[in-house]
């Protein structure tokens, strides 16, 4: 009983998400990119891992250096898709530049001292498929193609 009160007291300073699938740690869950994933893109976030404190980023991703990405689908019930593969991140950055030039809303957000870029696609959401030639091994580069 005392332990529960202490935990609640510690949680009082943190704003917990109201919606979204929570993990056992109280953070929002993410899925990771798998071959042949098809997504209707609603939002893309790219930045260092520290810019995503509300998400439960797996330990193996925390060991990587550089930026990661989150692809949010148009379905609000889906978990965001975690992107750590460099081949996808390059393609996503190029995609974000093109969409910004077409007039999509963008913003730069800073959380926990880390900055990330965010792209919002509010209409005519594109569908993309992420594939890789698995015969070339575990680290074969992904391709991002419009469906």
Q: Where are the domains of the chain?
A: 21-146
Question: Number of helices and strands (H, E) in the chain?
Answer: 3, 8
pLDDT of residue 87: 93
Question: What CA–CA distance (Å, rounded) separates 59 from 71?
Answer: 19
Question: What CA–CA distance (Å, rounded) separates 141 from 89?
Answer: 11
Question: What CA–CA distance (Å, rounded) separates 19 from 11?
Answer: 17
* pLDDT tens string 83-103: 999 999 999 999 999 999 999
Model pTM greater than 0.95?
no
CB 120 within 8 A of CB 104: yes
> How many residues comprise the chain?
147
* pLDDT tens string 36-60: 999 999 999 999 999 999 998 887 7
Segments in the chain forming alpha helices (H)? 2-11, 59-62, 86-101
């Amino acid at each position: 009983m005392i332990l529960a009160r202490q935990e609640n007291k510690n949680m009082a300073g943190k704003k917990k998400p109201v919606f979204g699938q929570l993990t056992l740690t109280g953070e929002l869950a993410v899925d990771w990119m798998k071959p042949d994933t098809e997504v209707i893109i609603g939002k893309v976030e790219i930045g260092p891992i520290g810019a995503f404190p509300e998400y439960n980023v797996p330990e193996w991703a925390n060991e990587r250096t550089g930026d990661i990405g989150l692809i949010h689908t148009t379905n609000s019930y889906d978990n965001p898709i975690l992107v750590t593969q460099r081949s996808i991140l390059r393609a996503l950055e190029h995609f974000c530049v093109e969409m910004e030039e077409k007039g999509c809303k963008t913003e730069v957000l800073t959380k926990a001292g880390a900055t990330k870029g965010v792209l919002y696609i509010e209409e005519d959401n594109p569908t993309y498929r992420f594939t890789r030639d698995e015969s070339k091994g575990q680290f074969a580069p992904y391709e991002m193609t419009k469906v």
